Amino acid sequence: MPRYRVQFSKEGPARFLSHLDLVRTTERALRRARLPLAFSQGFNPHPRFSFAAPLPVGVAGEQEYLDIELEKNISPKEIISRLNMVFPEGIRVKEARPVSDRAPSLMATLKKARYEVEMELSGPLTNSALQGCLDSFLALSAVEAATKKKDRQKTKDIRPGIYRLQGKVEQKKVVLEMELQAGSSGNVRPEEVCRGLLEKCGLPVLLQTCRIKRTGLFFEKSSDSRESGRTATEE
Amino acid sequence: MNPKIERVLSRVQKPARYAGGEWNAVLKNWEQTPVKIAFAFPDVYEVGMSHLGLQILYHLVNERDDALMERVFAPWPDMEKEMRQHRIPLFSLESQRTVGDFDLLAFTLQYEMTFTNVLNMLDLAGLPLRAQERSAQHPLVIAGGPCAYNPEPLADFVDLFVIGEGEEVFPEIIDLVKNYQKHRDREKFLLQAAGIGGVYVPSLYLVEYKPDGKIASIKPSREGVPERVTKRVVKNFDAAPFPDKLVVPSTEVVHDRIMLEVMRGCTRGCRFCQAGNIYRPVREKRPETLLEQARELVKSTGYEEISLVSLSTADYSQVARLVGELLDEFAAQRINISLPSLRVDAFSVALAQEVSRVRKAGLTFAPEAGTQRLRNVINKGVGEEDLLRAVQSAFAAGWSAVKLYFMIGLPTETRADVEGIARLARQVLETGKRLGVPRGKLAVTVSVSCFVPKSHTPFQWEPQDTQEELNEKQALLKNLLKTKGIIFRWHDSRQSFLEAVLARGDRRLAAALEEAWRLGCRFDGWSECFRFDLWREAFRRTGIVPEWYAYQKYDYDDILPWEHISAGVSKKYLIDEHQRALKGILTGDCREGKCSGCGLCVTLEIAPELSGGKEVAPLQGAV
Ligand code: SF4
Domain boundary among B184, B200, B230: B230
| Mutate which: A28, A39, A55, A206, vs B, most B CBs within 10 A | A28
Q: Could you tell me if the CB of B610 is within 6 A of ligand 1?
A: no
What's the B227 CA to ligand 1 centre distance in angstroms? 24
> Which residues of chain A neighbour B25 with C-beta distances below 8 Å?
88-89
Handedness of CA B388, B392, B394, B399 (dihedral sign): positive
> Which residues of chain A neighbour B299 with C-beta distances below 8 Å?
32, 34
**pLDDT value at position A235?**
37
Domain annotation covers residue B262: no
Count A/B contacts: CB-CB distance under 8 Å. 85
Same domain, A74 and A32: yes
B341 to chain A, closest Cα gap in Å: 22
> Which residues of chain B neighbour A88 with C-beta distances below 8 Å?
21-23, 25, 248, 250
**pLDDT value at position B623?**
55
Contact yes or no for A58/A52 (Cβ under 8 A): no
Q: In the predicted model, is pLDDT for residue A223 greater than 50?
A: no
The model's confidence at residue A231, banded by pLDDT at 50, 70 and 90, is very low
Q: In the predicted model, is pLDDT for residue B505 greater than 70?
A: yes
**pLDDT value at position A229?**
44
Q: What is the pLDDT of residues B167-179, one digit of tens each?
A: 999 999 999 999 9
Domain boundary among B201, B230, B259: B230
Domain annotation covers residue B337: no
| Mutate which: B10, B14, B26, B78, vs A, most A CBs within 10 A | B10
Domain annotation covers residue A222: no
**pLDDT value at position B95?**
96
Same domain, A120 and A164: yes
Q: In the predicted model, is pLDDT for residue B373 greater than 60?
A: yes
CB pair distance less than 8 Å for A88 and B251: no
Following CA atoms B193, B197, B200, B204 in sequence, which dihedral angle do they give, to the nearest 10 degrees? 60
If contacts are CB pairs under 8 Å, which of residues 38-97 in chain A contact chain B?
39, 43-46, 57-58, 86-90
Domain annotation covers residue A135: yes
CB pair distance less than 8 Å for B9 and A211: no
Q: In the predicted model, is pLDDT for residue A148 greater than 80?
A: no
What's the B179 CA to ligand 1 centre distance in angstroms? 37
To test ligand 1's pocket by mutation, which of B574, B619, B620, B623 has the most ligand atoms within 8 angstroms of CB? B619
Handedness of CA B18, B20, B23, B26 (dihedral sign): positive
Across-strand partners of A119? A174
What's the CA gap between B92 and B69, in Å, rounded? Answer: 10
What's the B596 CA to ligand 1 centre distance in angstroms? 6
Q: In the predicted model, is pLDDT for residue B573 greater than 80?
A: yes
What's the CA gap between A229 and A219, in Å, rounded? Answer: 7
What's the rounded mean pLDDT across residues B353-359?
A: 68
Same domain, A115 and A85: no
Q: What is the pLDDT of residues A180-222, one digit of tens each?
A: 999 988 999 999 999 999 999 999 999 988 999 999 999 987 6
What's the CA gap between B219 and B200, in Å, rounded? Answer: 12
Domain annotation covers residue B515: no
Domain annotation covers residue B459: yes
* Alpha carbon nearest to ligand 1 atom 4, residue: B601
Bigger pLDDT: A167 or B364?
Answer: A167
Q: In the predicted model, is pLDDT for residue B356 greater than 60?
A: yes
Q: Whole-number mean pLDDT of chain B?
A: 94
Residue in B with minimal Cα distance to A86: B23
Domain count across chain B: 2
Residue in A with minimal Cα distance to B11: A208
The boundaries of the domain holding residue B211 are 3-230
Domain boundary among B179, B211, B230: B230
* Main-chain phi, psi angles of A162, to 5 degrees: -100, 110
**pLDDT value at position B622?**
56
What's the CA gap between A143 and A162, in Å, rounded? Answer: 10
The model's confidence at residue B611, banded by pLDDT at 50, 70 and 90, is confident
What's the CA gap between A133 and A200, in Å, rounded? Answer: 9
Residue among A31, A89, A208 minimizing CB distance to B304 = A31
Q: What is the pLDDT of residues A123-141, one digit of tens each?
A: 999 999 999 999 999 999 9
Domain annotation covers residue B475: yes
What's the rounded mean pLDDT across residues B438-452?
A: 94
A19–chain B Cβ distance below 8 A for any pair: no
Domain annotation covers residue B290: no
Same domain, A211 and A131: yes
Domain annotation covers residue A235: no
CB pair distance less than 8 Å for A21 and B252: yes
**pLDDT value at position A39?**
92
Contact yes or no for A130/A203 (Cβ under 8 A): yes
Same domain, A129 and A72: no
Q: Which atom of ligand 1 is nearest to the CA of B606?
A: 4
What's the B197 CA to ligand 1 centre distance in angstroms? 21
Q: In the predicted model, is pLDDT for residue B357 greater than 90?
A: no
**pLDDT value at position A184?**
87
What's the rounded mean pLDDT across residues A145-173?
A: 88
Residue among A32, A89, A210 minimizing CB distance to B302 = A32
Domain annotation covers residue A234: no
Q: What is the pLDDT of residues B400-436, one digit of tens each?
A: 899 999 999 999 999 999 999 999 999 999 999 999 8
The model's confidence at residue B439, banded by pLDDT at 50, 70 and 90, is confident
Q: Could you tell me if the CB of B276 is within 6 A of ligand 1?
A: no
What's the B140 CA to ligand 1 centre distance in angstroms? 35
Contact yes or no for B315/B340 (Cβ under 8 A): no
Same domain, A127 and A175: yes
Q: Per the omega criterion (within 30 degrees of 0), is the bond before B281 cis?
A: yes
Domain annotation covers residue A226: no
**pLDDT value at position B359?**
54
**pLDDT value at position A152?**
76
Q: Which atom of ligand 1 is nearest to the CA of B617?
A: 3
CATH number at residue B366: 3.30.750.200
Same domain, B226 and B367: no
Same domain, A39 and A85: yes
Same domain, A124 and A199: yes
CATH number at residue A195: 3.30.70.3190
**pLDDT value at position B361?**
64
The boundaries of the domain holding residue A152 are 109-217
Residues 6+ apart with CB under 8 A from B126: B89, B90, B98, B100
Residues 6+ apart with CB under 8 A from B146: B109, B110, B111, B274, B275, B278
Domain count across chain A: 2
What's the B201 CA to ligand 1 centre distance in angstroms? 28
CATH number at residue A9: 3.30.70.580
Q: What is the pLDDT of residues B293-338, one digit of tens each?
A: 999 999 999 999 999 999 999 899 999 999 999 999 998 888 989 8
| Mutate which: A22, A32, A213, vs B, most B CBs within 10 A | A32
Q: In the predicted model, is pLDDT for residue B620 greater than 90?
A: no
Residue in B with minimal Cα distance to A37: B333
**pLDDT value at position B621?**
60
If contacts are CB pairs under 8 Å, which of residues 187-216 in chain A contact chain B?
208-211
CB pair distance less than 8 Å for A29 and B302: yes
* Alpha carbon nearest to ligand 1 atom 6, residue: B598
Domain boundary among A75, A102, A129: A102
Domain annotation covers residue A184: yes
* pTM score of the predicted model: 0.93
Domain annotation covers residue A233: no
Q: Could you tell me if the CB of B596 is within 6 A of ligand 1?
A: yes
Same domain, A25 and A114: no
Residue A215 belongs to what H/E stretch? strand A205-219
Residue in A with minimal Cα distance to B7: A209
B345 to chain A, closest Cα gap in Å: 26
DSSP A222: P
Same domain, A114 and A166: yes
What's the B318 CA to ligand 1 centre distance in angstroms? 20
CB pair distance less than 8 Å for B250 and A57: no
Q: Could you tell me if the CB of B280 is within 6 A of ligand 1?
A: yes
Q: In the predicted model, is pLDDT for residue A117 greater than 70?
A: yes
Residue B221: Cβ within 10 Å count? 10
Q: Which atom of ligand 1 is nearest to the CA of B622?
A: 1
Q: Of all residues in chain B, what percent carry a pLDDT higher than 90?
A: 86
Q: What is the pLDDT of residues B230-251, one digit of tens each?
A: 999 999 999 998 999 999 999 9
To test ligand 1's pocket by mutation, which of B596, B604, B605, B610 has the most ligand atoms within 8 angstroms of CB? B596
* Main-chain phi, psi angles of A145, to 5 degrees: -125, 140
Bigger pLDDT: A149 or B151?
Answer: B151
CB pair distance less than 8 Å for A209 and B23: no
Q: In the predicted model, is pLDDT for residue B482 greater than 80?
A: yes
CB pair distance less than 8 Å for A24 and B252: yes
Domain annotation covers residue B339: no
Q: Could you tell me if the CB of B604 is within 6 A of ligand 1?
A: no
> Which residues of chain B neighbour A90 with C-beta distances below 8 Å?
21
CB pair distance less than 8 Å for B23 and A45: no
What's the CA gap between B559 and B292, in Å, rounded? Answer: 47
Q: Look at A148-162, B103-117, B270-284, B476-490 and tell me which has the smallest mean pLDDT.
A: A148-162
A138 to chain B, closest Cα gap in Å: 28
